[in-house]
Amino acid sequence: MRAFIARHEIDRVFLFGDCRTYHRRAMKIARELGVAVFVFEEGYVRPDYVTLEPGGVNGHSALSREPSDYATPGLVQQDVPQPAGGVFWRIARYAVRYYLAAWWLRRAFPHYEHHRPLNPFSEGLCWVRSAVRKLYYSCADYPRARRLCETRYGGYYLVPLQMHCDAQVSHHSRYASIEEFIAEVIDSFAQHAPAGTELVFKHHPMDRGYHDYARLIADLAGQHRVGGRVFYLHEGHLPTLLYGACGTVTINSTVGLSSICHRTPVKVMGYAVYDIPGLTCEKSLDGFWQAPGEVDHGLYRRFRQHLVDNVLGNGSFYRRVRDDRGATGIEWPLGSLSAVSDPARAGVLANAARAGEEVALATDAVLPPALAAARLRGGGAISKVDWSGVREAGEAVAQSFQGAG
């Protein structure tokens, strides 16, 4: 890879996610060579947005966790994104093509290691199981989901579960599995939650065909003698459930940010970009049940606007949303170097000077690719990049734009 980067004078590497084995290796080499790394991710704010950050995303993001860094003066304008629309069937079609191609070509790449199973037959069975379970639980969960959705003054805590293979869990939390997280939450709830309150686990819809935690939750609730107060839902309108809850407990799901949007207090048990004093509860989980606190909605609005301005692009990975935004159809954030590279985006930059240049570099912050190639061929050492020196032309270096070190 080092020789490839040098030979082609690559100056940027773009990845989808930063926790996969090959991506971690690529990032390490790129940084050693002074090559900028940018990481895509599903949007922190959903739907209608995708994420693009320099250096890393989620737990590797350099977004500030200090409330004072979002003390923007004046009124915060409400963002009005172009709707991305429904993309489920597009995702399904792409997934089918991907798995079939990977299976067909598997012998051509015998040493390739994927982060998930690549057998299209077993994956297909999981999707069939998911469809059957959705039909079943749409009926079985309806009475309880309706009762909870009609609640307007609390009375239950919501626990949105994440995918069993989520890198957010395996790399950005202390939990070895979702089961371990469930056990800790039920144990704490049984000992410290106010009498009469309920605990509701909401299954992740994309994990429906892979796991079912009904027996585990029932067994743990029985052991802690809270069997009549702990429930498990596969179906239910999530925004309404968040609105009616008196608190949300999550590892680090983006549902936590949705909960904050609904002014419902959140306890983060992992590492999340929105785990900021004023947005989430700083107490332990045991203390959260008794006094979850309140959400600073003004801080939330400023934080959201910061995300939209700097790391969120209006669009979708699965369909063109903006016909006037170049080849991708995505309106890239101003905090992204790709915003300046995209001719369609450059025309709407606030400062015209930024459209005339692509990147302003602090002295010796990042080696030009030709110099990196020359040093590599000559065997010279290449110093690590100072990410704080990478910025758009004319822009001050902000904490939100510094890459993870």
Q: Identify whether residues 147 and 221 lie together within a single domain.
A: yes
Of 264, 288, 305, the domain-final residue: 305
Q: Identify whether residues 166 and 263 lie together within a single domain.
A: yes
At 193 the pLDDT is 97
Residue-number span of the structural domain to which 160 is assigned: 88-305
Q: Identify whether residues 290 and 380 lie together within a single domain.
A: no
Q: Identify whether residues 323 and 239 lie together within a single domain.
A: no
Model confidence, pTM: 0.81
- Give the mean pLDDT of the chain: 82
Q: Is residue 81 assigned to a domain?
A: no
pLDDT by residue (tens digit) across 276-326?
A: 999 999 999 999 999 999 999 999 999 999 999 889 999 999 999 888 777
Half-sphere exposure of 315 (CA within 13 A, CB side): 25
Q: Identify whether residues 110 and 239 lie together within a single domain.
A: yes
- pLDDT tier for residue 1 given thresholds of 50, 70 and 90: confident
Q: Is residue 137 assigned to a domain?
A: yes
In the chain, how many domains are there? 2
Tell me which residue of 89, 207, 86 sits closest to 137, measured CA to CA: 207
| CA angle in degrees (0–180, nearest 5) for 372-376-378 | 120
Over residues 97-103, the mean pLDDT reads 92
Q: Identify whether residues 146 and 199 lie together within a single domain.
A: yes
Of 305, 328, 357, the domain-final residue: 305
Question: What interhelical angle do 120-140 and 142-149 show, nearest 10?
Answer: 60
Q: How many residues does the chain have?
A: 405
d(CA 396, CA 374): 31
Percent share of the chain, pLDDT over 70: 81
pLDDT by residue (tens digit) across 232-268?
A: 999 999 999 999 999 999 999 999 999 999 999 999 9
Which residues sit opposite 248 in a β-bridge? 158, 266
Least confident range of 151-165, 227-241, 306-320, 330-344? 330-344
Question: What interhelical angle do 214-223 and 178-192 show, nearest 10?
Answer: 30
Over residues 350-361, the mean pLDDT reads 28
Q: Is residue 354 assigned to a domain?
A: yes
Q: Are strands 36-42 and 49-54 parallel, antiparallel or unpaired?
A: antiparallel
Of 252, 272, 305, the domain-final residue: 305
